[in-house]
Amino acid sequence: MRTRTPRNQIQFGVFFQGVNSTTIWTEPESGSQTAFESFRRIAQTAERGLFAAFFLGEGLRLREHLGQVHDLDVVGRPDAQTQLAALAAITERIGLVATQNTTYNDPVDLAHRLQSLDLLSGGRAAWNVVTTDNAWTGANFRRGGYLDHADRYTHAERVVETVRAVWDSWDDGVVAADRGATSWADPSGIHVVERDLGHYAVRAEGRLPRSAQGHPVLFQAGDSDEGRDFATRAADVIFSAHPEFEDALTFAADIRRRTRAAGRPEDDVKIFPGQQFVLADTDTEAEEKARWVAEHQITPATAIAYLENVWGTSLQSYDPDGPLPDIDPVVEVTGSTRGSAFQFQKSQELATQWRALSEAEGLSIRQLVTRVGVRRGGIVGGYSTVADRLAEYADAGAVHGFNVSPWLVPSGLDDIVDRLVPLLQDRGVYPTEYRGDTLRDHLGLRGPLTRRAAA
């Protein structure tokens, strides 16, 4: 029998985006963005494909565009924890990741809800920690620009530490192992958590014993220096915005360096960038399909809206198939309601850069937006080309996996699971079974950070 040296593997998670600008919701094949049936189908398809996790974002306020609700894309979504609790009942292995911010959530309440999900799902829950950094969201809570950027991460670190303390407040073995015991729980093993978080203080006990994975896995999404340092000190997994190969390599090197500096083994933090795939039998067909996808993701109306985000003013009089606006942006920097792709970038610089690109290559507004738009097409190719490409990511250690965003719901994972996954398995770069029952098992994580000394 031929023996092979095992290769690095990559894994998949699925990012059911909900609010976003890349899901095509206008086609006959497009399903509901809010009905349980769509979530069920995606989650069960992902589980069939041995995906590590089903992932949901969080939006605390409806997206806006020039002061109005942004109605060209999907704008609302169900609460992540409620939705994941429903999915826990109809799935068996896949991890369930809820994005929840640290700025507006109460840590004791958050700890209890996440721990409940973890317990009820048999140890499959994760918390994607975000700080949600804008005053516009804060206005929803009548808090305006409640915390500035650096303060958000100081506060986030305290919130995460408090949540973990609540999760750890029950010792192992607190609940009686058999019915012959005279009390259900041993109160001496339940400890009070007292923390001063600066803006408020908490005093509470956890209300639940541990789950099968100790406590929920921690993801982090936030790309600044502070965000990366925070992730490498506190998180198990980073949901990154760096999917392209060279960029992914640079990002991975940076994260390994920061992880070592935080006193942890360099591969302790797993990296899962968001990624879109456009697949077909051949490369040529995939390219054609990618053009179709881009055209449907970036309609004439969304192309104009995309530029308005940067210009900060109405560009409705411009022809989407014509040249870029000849007027300058009316804002200095792009705002925080304008989508993460160019949040807080200098408007004038972007406009100059885009004008130069469109003039050099003769691109219309729509063509330019397709070129520079979010995700820039992702990975496009025939199934075996893409399988080879992903094997390169695995071999180079550029990522531990991808958080896949399907551009069509709910059928968007079918070709990935039925056609791509088997090719990756043939190449030895994708799991052929779930490694265990919990999310921590699937991701090959060691125990919860706070419990390692005890272990």
Ligand X SMILES: Cc1cc2nc3c(=O)[nH]c(=O)nc-3n(C[C@H](O)[C@H](O)[C@H](O)COP(=O)(O)O)c2cc1C
Positions touching ligand X (CB under 6 A) are 57-59, 99, 101, 130-133, 221-224, 226-227, 239, 241, 274
Cα dist. 373→30, 299, 365 in Å?
A: 21, 12, 11
The 10 Å Cβ neighbour count of residue 433 is 8
| Nearer to ligand X among residue 163 and residue 303 (C-beta) | 163
Instruction: Pick between residue 156 and residue 204 the one whose CB is nearest to ligand X.
Output: 156
CB of 78 to ligand X, least distance (A): 14
For 276, residues 6+ apart whose C-beta sits below 8 A from its C-beta are 22, 375, 377, 378, 379, 404, 405, 407
Residue 110 CA to residue 98 CA, distance in Å, equals 11
Residues 6+ apart with CB under 8 A from 223: 240, 241
Nearer to ligand X, 227 or 412 (CB): 227
The minimum distance between CB 36 and ligand X, in angstroms, equals 20
Of residues 224 and 364, the one with the C-beta less far from ligand X = 224
Neighbours of 396 (CB within 10 A): 13
Cβ 320 to ligand X shortest distance, Å: 28
170 vs 219 by CB, closer to ligand X: 219
Sequence-distant (≥ 6) Cβ neighbours of residue 390 within 8 angstroms:
10, 379, 424, 429
- Of the pair 57, 123, the CB lying nearest ligand X is at 57
DSSP E strands in 110-176: the ranges are 125-130
Q: For ligand X, give the closer residue by CB, 43 or 387.
A: 43
Q: How far is the CB of 300 from ligand X (least distance, A)?
A: 28
Q: How far is the CB of 230 from ligand X (least distance, A)?
A: 8
Closest-CA residue to 88 (of 114, 58, 70): 114
DSSP output for 347-413: HHHHHHHHHHHHHHHT--HHHHHHHHSGGGG-EEEEHHHHHHHHHHHHHHT--SEEEE--SSTTTTT
Query: What is the smallest separation between the CB atom of 271 and ligand X, expressed in angstroms?
Result: 11
Q: Report, in Å, the least distance between residue 376 CB and ligand X.
A: 15
- The torsion region of residue 377 among left (phi > 0), alpha (psi -120 to 50) and beta comes to left
Q: Considering beta carbons, is residue 226 or 266 the nearer one to ligand X?
A: 226
What whole-number distance in Å separates Cα of residue 318 and Cα of residue 327? 11
Distance of closest approach, residue 402 Cβ to ligand X, in angstroms: 12
The alpha carbon torsion through 278, 281, 287, 288 (nearest 10 deg) reads -100
- Which pair of structure tokens corresponds to residue 124? 């499959």
